[in-house]
Structure formats: C-alpha cells, structure tokens
Amino acid sequence: MADYLFYWTTDQLAKAIALGRLPHAGSEQFSRVKRGDRVWIVGRLNGAPELLTVGYIDVASILSAKSAQAEMARRVPGYTIWTASKHILASKDSECRTKRLSLAPLYGHLEFESRGTKTLELTDGHPKPQQLQTMRRLTSVASVVLRSHWREDGKVRRAARAAKRALDLDQLEAYRLTLVRLEQQAARALLLDGRTTATCDFCARVVPASLLVAAHIKPRSSCTKSEKRLVEVNVIGLCKLGCDDLFERGYVDVLDGVVVQGGAAPITPAIEKVLDGLTNRRVIGWTEQREAMFRWRRNSRKVETT
C-alpha cells in the first residue's frame, strides 16, 4: 500500500468540492497505482499559493475509460470522465467526503520516495505546482503524518483554537504543538504497525500497545531538523514497566548495543534489582545509526552531571 500526491487544477478541485465526495480520478500516470493505494488529491484554490488537499481516493478498481464512464454514470448521473487511459475509482461505500485542508503545516514533512528531490521546495513559503505535476509517492512516515493530519484535523483545529484563546499562543505556536503531536502519533504508528502488542527493545517483554512508549533516543528538542525526520532511527519502543523511565532519567544507557548502567543516582535496593535484570541485555533493533544517537545521549548526560 502506498500513498501518492496527485495534483489537480483549480477547476477540478472546485468540481470535487461541489460534488462533495471523491469517487474517481483519471490520468495517464496511474499505471503505477495499485488497488489498496491511496491517492491524495492536492492543488491550489482561487489563486492562493497554499497547497491543500480536498481528500483522497482509496483505490478499489483501476478501469479503462469506457468502463470508468459506465460505472461513474451509474453513480453520479450526468458525470463525464475526462480523457485519460487509466481511471481509479473508490468503492461506492468508501468515497471520501471532500473538505479543504491546508497542507502548509506539513510542508516540511511531505517527503517522497524518489531518486530526485525528496522534499517540497518552497518559494516564498509555498511549493511550486511544477514539482507536483508528476504524481509523487510519499514515504511511509509522511503517509502516516498526512493521514493523521486529515483525521485529526477537526480535533486539532479545535484544540489549537482553545490553546490560542487560553494562552494567547500565536498561530505558529499552535501549529508547532500540532506538529509535535502528529510526529508522536506517526512514530507510534510506525513502531506498532497495527499490532496490539509489542516487544520492549530493552527488556524484551511483550506488552500491550498501551504500555509501550515511542521513546526518542536523542530528545526531540535537541534534534536538528533533519534528525527529526529520522523517526525510524531515533525512535525505539520502551515499556512503561520501567524501561522508559529508567532510560529517560539516566539509570540505564546503551553502549555498543548493550544496556548498561547509567550514571543516575540514588540506587536503592529495588533499583539495583531491576538494573541487575536489565543490564548486559542486547538491545533489540540496535543499529550503528542508533548507536550514534545513544552515544549522543550518553555524552549529554555527562555534561548535565558535571
């Protein structure tokens, strides 16, 4: 399953909004698309430079022009498909209802699987449509972020408005909070991959998803912009049965792929017992790249304590 961004003209977007749902799209570019993929319809409205989406098509069938026209005429009387050899249709009962959703808060997160440019290039704060003339496939992280953005839109907007009222945060700050939440959700979704239980990377115990934390090895606040995108490297799964707190508070660290005792004190007999069971264990999912993050964490603690 893949998520794609597919660019529509203002006219096409306006028609979809008037119809209120997204049953169909046609293009020569859909030979890459498979059933089960999601094609996000994006574009710009009323000459505004902002990129937005009006929704998606969950591809249920890929049809020729003739079959697509016949099916669409049945669903929407008077509907005329446009000229293209490939047509994608959502199933009748899962047509996405359109809404206008700005993608501006996600510009830095929309990353593509491609040999060429992997991110949106912004000119005066917005992407140029030319970059999206070819349908772009999103990375798995970007797909999760966009899906959360769509799903959480209503909730997030309300929360942002409330936060703004209560704390007088400016728009940017509200967006920043939104993004942190979206990233956390994305990290969790990636870790869990739809599972209801997961294994702790330190103690190897299998716990319910609700007791697993998507923990940053290098704290998010210390990450550079490019490191923030390394979700798959910098985020590990730690259980709430102790491992997350012990790591967060410096009781344990990782050295050469093994859990070692950190410098935190005091060590009470109860802590000692837990550390005995935890140290010298191999970290699950350890990689050289992750070791670099763990090294940063160890060194940052030395600075804190001196």
CB of 168 to Zn ion, least distance (A): 41
Taking the least distance from each CB to Zn ion, the nearer of 215 and 239 is 239
The CA distances from residue 178 to 146, 182, 215, 228, 246, in Å, are 12, 6, 18, 15, 28
CB of 237 to Zn ion, least distance (A): 9
Taking the least distance from each CB to Zn ion, the nearer of 145 and 243 is 243
CB of 216 to Zn ion, least distance (A): 16
By the 8 A CB rule, do 13 and 45 touch? yes
CB of 240 to Zn ion, least distance (A): 8
CB of 268 to Zn ion, least distance (A): 19
The CA distances from residue 144 to 115, 151, 185, 194, 242, in Å, are 21, 10, 8, 12, 28
Taking the least distance from each CB to Zn ion, the nearer of 14 and 211 is 211
Taking the least distance from each CB to Zn ion, the nearer of 30 and 202 is 202
Taking the least distance from each CB to Zn ion, the nearer of 51 and 239 is 239
> Under the rule (CB under 5 A), what is the footprint of Zn ion?
200, 202-203, 239, 243
- Which H or E run includes 177? helix 171-192
Query: In one letter, which amino acid is 250?
Result: G
CA–CA dist 228, 184 (Å, integer): 11
- Give the contacts of 242 (CB within 8 A, at least 6 positions apart): 203, 274, 278
By the 8 A CB rule, do 242 and 268 touch? no
